[in-house]
Chains A and B, each alone.
Chain A
Amino acid sequence: MSVNSTIAAGHSATLRRAALVGYLPLAIFVVLLVYLSFTAPNYFSFQSLDLILRQAIPTVVVCLGLSAVVMAGGNDVVSGGIDLSIPATAVLSAAIIADQVTNHGTPIALALAMALIAALLVGAANAVLVVRIGMTPLLATLSSSVAVVGIVKVITSSRRINVDHPAVVWLRDGSIAGVSVGVILTTLIFLIFFFAVHRTRWGMNLQAVGGSRDAAEISGIPTGRFLSQSFVVAAFAGGLASMFVLARGSGSTPGTEENLLLEMVLATFLGAAFSPRRVVTLWGAVLGAVLVTALSIGFKSIGVNVFWTGCIKGALILVVVASASLSLKASARGSAG
């Protein structure tokens, strides 16, 4: 065997190992789901699938928003694009709707409009902080989410507000041809996002900005404008998610944003680990959100102590992200030589 082919064989072995490590996250999920399907009663039934999807809805919608920001800002968590304020925005919008509908008798359409405007304002504030003032997105959105949660406390006086408006109940319980209304609407929102990001000039430019800001700038794309727009889009997604947050909780509950934030970050970066290039994608985010919810519900139904859920989620995100970065490193080493 010649020296060259030995080296080549070595490289392909490294690459194969890289690919194997890369499949680890998916493999872990498959193993867990198979395990759950044997232990949890009726885990793979239509009802539980429907339940999983319905539970996952708010996370899916905020994940779509976060994906847009990450696509425009780049994949690096600290210096690139991230928006930690989307869950807080969703909870703000939910609080506005709940307060208006229940306490002031405002028609729900008007309340929703007010909530969406508030969400857009948060998005605009984020855009100003990041693009105009030059704060890192992590810092800007972390601090704006604290301010937004503070405003939510003022609106709700840190109390739960029940909402029994027919529209919210319909969103929670209604179904068309056997499929939940929420699932249908979320699919619609996903398709709109997918079309906007992957099938329009705007989406192409947005992804170009995230891919390489310098290159996009040189090609004449106004990068600042696209970054700003991504934050506004994300906040709008948060505003839309508010209706599903209300439906899932039958009202606005203080503290909802914390769990939503954890699930959003987990699902979105989990999704990145599933994608071949390890980048955040819309499909990946949705898949991540559904899988995380599937596991949560599965563990609950086999009676795993609820306190363990955080531990399991934390370990999952670490295993997934570590195997993704290790496989990326290994494949870089394999193809570099």
Chain B
Amino acid sequence: MSLVSDSDTFSLRSFLVRYGFLVIIAAFFAFFSLYTGSFLSGTNLLNIIEGSSILLILALGMTLVVALGGIDLSVGIAFDMGAAFAIVAMKEYDAAWYVAILIGIGGGVLVGLLNAFLVVKLSVSPFLATLGTFFIGSSVQRIFTGGGGPISHRQAPMEYRNLAIGDVFGIPSEVIIAAVVLLIYFIFLERSIFGKRIHAIGLQKTAALVAGIKVNKYIALGFIIAAATCAIGGMIGSANLRMFTPLAGFSYLLDAIAAVFIGASIHPHGRPNVPGTLIGVLFLGMVANGLNLMGLDFNTKDALSGLILVGALAIAVAQKRLR
């Protein structure tokens, strides 16, 4: 219907509607490049990508849950459990590195199972269910570590440490892991019949049910797969420091939510989606990196990144609404 009016005259409004958020990204990119000399260098850009890998993994898990119409406030707990289970398995039980990785994923699955049980069996809303999981998971970590002290494992096998510090042809292994997870999620969520069903459930649960989709099974599996994904992120984090840091996953929660919603806002139909989440994660990574390079004091940096987060989300959502 807008073919005639928009095709021959340039309209700022329709331009912003289509590319508003990309303009913001470009503006920040240009600003950081001009303001700090080191931002626009190959190593720094690789730093941004490497620094965004763990967040991307968590945000992908979040994308799955949000696409199903829920939200997962316990991604940080799954992250912590992945790290804790893997580190403890190696330190206390001398597990081989690949066994430790499987056990770590198992730790995440436990968190996902609890969420799935609460949401599907007890029909608690995802927000409150995962909030409860968050309380319980945080408390369990405090009890287990006697108040939140880290569990370090200096003699972690090299193979495990390579999750974070290794590289293949110069590409850091965490980037490769994140890329693999990204690819799997993309095929699964955007290019398969399962993805179609997941989006159908998120859009209209009742309609999906009537259409014969096993809604509860998908929701349960969604929480479990998301938590297992977050556990992978947790293991990368622990491989880097060779220790399990209790409650470390919490710091990713808000960024993961923000990345998913930024991604949903730049999608033509406002749906959470894998490429959008990637853009959201890279945006947040770029801002964090740029503010670091500007050499601001720690508190100012926190305040600025909070304000940028609000502004970016507002613009992304406004863009979606103008459409």
Contact = CB atoms under 8 A, between A and B. Distances in A.
Interface of A: 76-78, 125, 129, 133-135, 138-140, 142-144, 146-151, 153-154, 157-158, 262, 265, 269, 305, 307-315, 317-318, 321-322, 325-326, 329
Given A150-B307, A308-B139, A142 B254 contact: yes
A202 B310 CA distance: 30
Interface in B294-318: 298-300, 302-307, 309-310, 313-314, 317-318
Contact of B299 (A129, A133, A158, A315): A158
Interface string B128-157: 110111111011101100110000000000
Contact of B127 (A77, A129, A135, A153): A77
Contacts of B306: 143, 146-151
Pairs A-B, 4 closest by C-beta atoms: A314-B135, A310-B139, A150-B303, A147-B306
A210 B132 CA distance: 25
B132 A134 contact: no
A305 B139 CA distance: 11
Nearest to B265: A135
User: Which bucket holds chain B's interface residue count?
Assistant: 35 or more
Contacts of A265: 131
10 contacts: A134-B321, A135-B317, A138-B71, A138-B127, A139-B257, A146-B306, A150-B306, A307-B147, A308-B143, A311-B140
Given A146-B254, A147-B310, A322-B122, 16 more contacts: A77-B128, A139-B258, A139-B313, A140-B313, A146-B306, A150-B307, A153-B299, A157-B299, A307-B146, A310-B136, A310-B138, A311-B143, A312-B139, A317-B128, A321-B125, A322-B124
B112 interface: no
A77 B309 CA distance: 22
B131 A150 contact: no
Nearest to B308: A147
A314 B313 CA distance: 30
Chain B contact residues, majority secondary structure: helix
Contacts of A269: 128
B136 A147 contact: no
Given A143-B254, A144-B310, A321 B128 contact: yes
Contacts of A157: 299
Contacts of B128: 77, 269, 317-318, 321
A318 B132 contact: yes
A305 B123 CA distance: 31
A321 B125 CA distance: 9
Contacts of A310: 135-136, 138-139, 142
Nearest to A75: B125
A322 B119 CA distance: 9
Nearest to A151: B303
A146 to B, nearest CB: 4
A314 B136 contact: yes
A228 to B, nearest CB: 15
Contacts of A147: 303, 306-307, 309-310
B261 interface: yes
Nearest to A262: B135
Nearest to A82: B127
A149 B257 CA distance: 18
A129 to B, nearest CB: 6
B71 A78 contact: yes
Contacts of B138: 310
Given A78-B71, A78-B127, A317 B135 contact: yes
Contacts of A139: 257-258, 261, 313, 317
Contacts of A125: 310
Contacts of A138: 71, 127
Interface in B216-253: none
A311 B77 CA distance: 13
A309 B136 CA distance: 9
B107 interface: no
Interface string B59-77: 0000000000011000000
Contacts of B254: 142-143, 146
A280 to B, nearest CB: 12
Contact of B318 (A134, A146, A151): A134
B118 interface: yes
B275 interface: no
A78 B125 contact: yes
Nearest to B299: A153
A135 B313 CA distance: 8
A25 to B, nearest CB: 13
B82 interface: no
Contacts of B302: 149-150, 153-154
A312 B142 CA distance: 13
Contacts of A305: 143
A317 B132 contact: yes
Given A134-B317, A143-B309, A265-B131, A322 B139 contact: no
A299 to B, nearest CB: 12
A180 B138 CA distance: 34
Nearest to B302: A150
Contacts of B304: 150
A321 B124 contact: yes
Nearest to A146: B306
B272 interface: no
Nearest to B315: A133
A191 to B, nearest CB: 29
Contacts of B305: 150
Among B122, B132, B254, B305, chain A packs the most CB atoms within 10 A around the CB of B132
B317 A133 contact: yes
